[in-house]
Structure 1
Amino acid sequence: MESVFIGELTWQQYQARIAAGNAVVLLPVGALEQHGHHLPMNVDVLLPTAVCERVAQRTGALVAPAVHYGYKSQQKSGGGNHYPGTTSLDGVTVIRTVQDIIRELARHGVRRLAILNGHFENSMFVVEGIDLALRELHYAGVEGFRVMTLSYWDFAEDPEVIKKLYPDGFQGWNVEHGGVFETSLMLALYPHLVDMEQMEHHPPATFPPYDLFPVVPERTPRPGTLSSARGASRAKGELILEVCVNGIARALRDEFGAQH
């Protein structure tokens, strides 16, 4: 059985899949960003890539190589860009990267693309890259290219799922950086990269209702996480993975007619 990863195919295998006329390409977009003392810095690449792999196995889609760098970490969503190791791109670079990838995929014959974001800060720059790419393709006479954008965590917002993940109450996505959600997924998918002994328990981060630049580093909890990962488990990660893969596969079927 052929790999779902484009990078593992020969060019002839890839060409044949695209020439069949119904290929959906999934593009994980992440970041290199600190995730506390207990998680590696490539969480935002590993998780969307793993979700894409499972969705592709379910739907017959192909997974493009992930974009490993993202827009600058913001203090109130990712702890801030001041941590060692966090390596970020300017917004215009993210925009042009997405635009260039879409243009190249279109040249190959791809007409359906789903961009799976794993790093909140990328969101609007990805949208701008899509907009510029579609405009460029239109001017070049290429029509019918459709793009879906999604973030995997949006598919886990069912109240019953949230209740199982956070029996003591959900603090909100804005403090979930390095918390129960991401840690549970990592325990389910990459347990060898998680060191729960290094996890620091602390109250959810609190910030003023405004942003200040340069940031005040002391406002980010010391380990870089915005909430505690206490309560994370492999079982919760498997639940998250199941609902996200099911939901994304359903979305691809609804919008692109992909298998389900």
Structure 2
Amino acid sequence: MHIDPTVLDAAVTSSPERDLAFTAAPEYASWCQKRSVVLIPVGALEQHGPHMPLGTDALLSHAMARGVCDLMNAKADAEIGSAKVAQPFVYGYKSQQKSGGGNHLPGTISLDAHTLTTYARDVTRGFLAQGVSSVVFVNGHYENYQFLYEGVDLALRDLGIVQGSERNALLLSYWDYVDDSTLAKVYPDGFPGWDIEHGGVLETALMMRLYPSLVNESAMVDHPAADLPRFDRLPVVPERTPETGCLSSPRGASREKGEWLFSAATSAIAADLLQELNLT
């Protein structure tokens, strides 16, 4: 689908002031002399039902990181430091049946644990070794988290960074910053739970807010939420995943709900990072 640039805002557009991909090396080196924070979006290439693209997780984490970066820099003391956004990790760890539908579904192309861990280790070590003060992973794919954690931990060990060091790394998943009052507005009939929120209202609403041209509303499905066992079975039993790949229905998603979710998450993340990293 064609993306109409007139409907995109700063959260999904690039700028040399914010995005490292468009920053020249001398500017980067100068920026590292102050308290520098690199936000790294992390997603996956994973099916998200018939109404959304395979890159949904990476697209959303990238937009979240950019939104957070803008809020941080608007409030940070420029004499102390600032934040920038690195290119996203666009592949992630294996989709699991109880959280993403399963790695068996077409369009889901995944990394082994060692690959993702090594990727996170190398990137974290590279930034911190060059003088970046803090590396922050903004995760948008549930299954990634522990392997990012392992990579970061190994990178700190490689560099000899110990407790009390000014250099550090943080990990977060953006959905953890959606507060209860926002969830109550988005789900007036009750929040069904994060375990089945894949291809459902939350991701769909955020995509409608951030990338409306990539959401095919006519293809949105409406079926009961997946009823999955409390255990994981390998190999998976494919028929336990709804044929659509959605673990819950996206019906009820709207651009307005996406704005509520985006605003709540980015504001809360920015506030946490500003305080934790002493940028004000």
Q: TM-score, normalised by structure 2?
A: 0.89
Mapping for residues 218-229 of structure 1, pairs under 5 Å: 218-229=239-250
CA shift at 1:162, angstroms?
Answer: 1.1
Determine the structure 1 residue equivalent to 2:272.
Answer: 251
Q: Distance in 1 between matches of 2:91 and 2:274?
A: 29
Q: What letter matches 2:98 in structure 1?
A: K
Secondary structure, aligned partner of 1:24: strand
More divergent stretch after superposition (180-189 vs 200-209): 200-209
| Contact 1:180/1:231, CA 8 A, preserved across alignment | yes
Mapping for residues 193-212 of structure 1, pairs under 5 Å: 193-212=214-233
Q: Distance in 2 between matches of 1:4 and 1:136?
A: 28
Determine the structure 2 residue equivalent to 1:145.
Answer: 167
CA shift at 1:26, angstroms?
Answer: 0.3
CA shift at 1:214, angstroms?
Answer: 0.5
Q: Distance in 1 between matches of 2:28 and 2:246?
A: 40
Q: Distance in 2 between matches of 1:54 and 1:255?
A: 18
Mapping for residues 57-136 of structure 1, pairs under 5 Å: 57-60=70-73, 61-136=83-158
Q: What letter matches 2:26 in structure 1?
A: Q
Determine the structure 1 residue equivalent to 2:46.
Answer: 33
Q: Distance in 1 between matches of 2:161 and 2:208?
A: 46
Q: Distance in 2 between matches of 1:54 and 1:208?
A: 37
Residues 1:15 and 2:29 are matched in the alignment? yes
Q: What letter matches 2:263 in structure 1?
A: E
Q: Distance in 2 between matches of 1:106 and 1:253?
A: 19
Residues 1:213 and 2:234 are matched in the alignment? yes
Q: What letter matches 2:157 in structure 1?
A: R
Residues 1:166 and 2:183 are matched in the alignment? no
CA shift at 1:2, angstroms?
Answer: 3.9
Determine the structure 1 residue equivalent to 2:67.
Answer: 54
CA shift at 1:239, angstroms?
Answer: 0.5
Secondary structure, aligned partner of 1:258: coil
2:254 pairs with one of 212, 230, 233:
233
Q: Distance in 2 between matches of 1:217 and 1:199?
A: 21
CA shift at 1:195, angstroms?
Answer: 0.3
Unaligned stretches of 5+ residues in structure 1:
none
Displacement over 6 Å in runs of 4+: none
Unaligned stretches of 5+ residues in structure 2:
1-14, 74-82
CA shift at 1:169, angstroms?
Answer: 1.1
Number of residue pairs matched by the alignment: 256
CA shift at 1:114, angstroms?
Answer: 1.0
| Contact 1:24/1:110, CA 8 A, preserved across alignment | yes
CA shift at 1:144, angstroms?
Answer: 3.2
Secondary structure, aligned partner of 1:243: helix
Mapping for residues 174-185 of structure 1, pairs under 5 Å: 174-185=195-206
Q: Distance in 1 between matches of 2:94 and 2:16?
A: 36
| Contact 1:24/1:258, CA 8 A, preserved across alignment | no
Q: What letter matches 1:191 in structure 2?
A: P
Identity %: 47
CA shift at 1:139, angstroms?
Answer: 7.5
Q: What letter matches 1:233 in structure 2?
A: S
Secondary structure, aligned partner of 1:23: strand
CA shift at 1:210, angstroms?
Answer: 0.9
Secondary structure, aligned partner of 2:169: strand
- The verdict on how the C-alpha distance between 1:89 and 1:68 changes in structure 2, with shifts beyond 3 A counting, is same
| Contact 2:137/2:170, CA 8 A, preserved across alignment | yes
**1:56-96 alpha-carbon deviations (Å, 9 max, x no partner):** 11213100110111000000000000111111000010100
Secondary structure, aligned partner of 2:156: helix
Q: Distance in 2 between matches of 1:211 and 1:62?
A: 38
- The verdict on how the C-alpha distance between 1:4 and 1:196 changes in structure 2, with shifts beyond 3 A counting, is same
